[in-house]
Amino acid sequence: MSISHQTVRSTRYEKSSLSSLRPHPRQNWHPADIIAALHKKGTTLAALSRQSGLSSSTLSNALSRPWPKGELLIANAIGVRPAEIWPQRYFTENGQPIVKIMRNKKKD
């Protein structure tokens, strides 16, 4: 059985077009995994929020949208860097770091 040159060419094209559709090389942790990691450390998202002087549901915002301060609080509680939990928020698809800037508290 022989494979025609046309078949080989179209197979290569399909593979190359599929590779451009690949997701980010490193995926963000699933929110349930983040919550489970907090539970393994003996805390909850609500408790961590309250300990940080925030409303009990405030830190849950970091699970669904970028928020450097919240990401840092959660990562510190788990014992990893925020970029390890949310690589898509801290690195481009090419692996270049994305700079995050946190605002300081207002001075009195």
Q: pLDDT for 36-67, tens place per residue?
A: 999 999 999 999 999 999 999 999 999 999 99
User: With 50 as the cut, is the pLDDT of residue 17 above it?
Assistant: no
Q: Where are the beta strands (DSSP E) in 7-97?
A: none
Residue 78: which of 102, 45, 56, 105 has the closest Cα?
A: 45
Q: Please, are residues 1 and 65 in contact by the beta-carbon 8 Å criterion?
A: no
DSSP bridge pairs for 97: 91
Residue 91 phi, psi dihedral angles, 5° rounding: -135, 145
Q: Label residue 20 by pLDDT band (50, 70, 90).
A: very low
pLDDT at 10: 42
User: With 90 as the cut, is the pLDDT of residue 15 above it?
Assistant: no
Average pLDDT over residues 70-99: 92
Query: Regarding predicted confidence, which is higher, 105 or 8?
Result: 105
Quote the Cα angle for 58-61-65, to 5°: 155
